[in-house]
Amino acid sequence: MVFIIIIFVLMKNLKLYYIITLIFVLASISCQEPGCTDPNALNFNNEANKDDNSCLYNNNFNINFKLTNEGNTVNKFDTIFGKNYKFQLLNLKFYMCDINLNSEFNNVYLKDIHLFKIDDENTHTISFEVEEGNYTSLKFGLGVNSEQNNTTPAQYDLDHPLGLSHNTFWAMEPSSYIFLMLEGKVDTLEQNNFFNLSYHLAHNNLLKQVELNYQFDLEGQTSYQASIEIDISSFFNNVDFSEDLPHQRNTSPLAELIMNNFVSSFEIQ
């Protein structure tokens, strides 16, 4: 009789154990909050206790600039051999403004202004932190936008792209930053008889919009390298070297031609 009572008590306690265990399991399941549990992610959820693979990260997106001529790298002091001319590159500066990375669903604003200087290798690469996703194009203004062009270098630090140390500002009336500064020597007779050539393009009506179609994916925590090649010889398509480029407030046909050539010289890879 005692033995039967002991078994009865044990079975009763065992049932109670399973019931309690089941309650804890159900409570544990019901308390799970799905979400991103990685504190390094952009969308980290402090209340989540179950990772649902939804974490998003910033990725390094780098743009590298490369000057070329017929696919070959061009550096300062190199000579470009074009049709009926030779050009020695001595200086190149240009502005890019309102740089955007476009995707199917939205645009990511990367930077307000960048100044490329052939003498400063630090300006030959620009780096950004970009949220992962699928991107389709890079868009920017070639030059300085009207709001920026209403400022003066005195409003910025010396080393700011619009600062005084870069010597890219005309204090004429109306004043303007120089959107494109191209300097060198050209020989149109191909007899090593070079003469100085200088194109300084400025004022709001020369601002050009550039959109480079370029589809790529940023996933996880990765680094992506994009290369923008600029074909220097394209600057001189249909250019008459005997025509002077006046420093004036009104856009000349030659200034428009060179700026449009400059736009067409960009290619992204």
What is the full per-residue pLDDT of the chain (269 aa) written as tens digits?
A: 544 444 444 455 556 666 566 555 555 555 677 888 877 676 778 878 777 776 766 688 999 999 999 889 999 999 999 988 999 999 999 999 999 999 888 889 999 999 999 999 999 999 999 888 899 999 999 999 999 999 999 999 999 999 999 999 998 888 999 999 999 999 998 788 899 999 999 999 999 999 999 998 888 777 899 999 999 999 999 999 988 876 655 678 999 999 999 999 999 98
Is the Cα dihedral 183, 184, 190, 191 positive or negative? positive
Cβ-contact 96, 116 below 8 angstroms:
yes
The CA-atom distances, in angstroms, between 251 and each of 128, 200, 254, 256 are 34, 12, 8, 7
How far is the C-alpha of 217 from the C-alpha of 127, rounded, in Å? Answer: 16
Structure tokens at 214: 């370029």
Q: What are phi and psi of 198, to 5 degrees?
A: -140, 120
Tally Cβ neighbours within 10 Å of residue 59: 19
Global confidence as pTM = 0.81
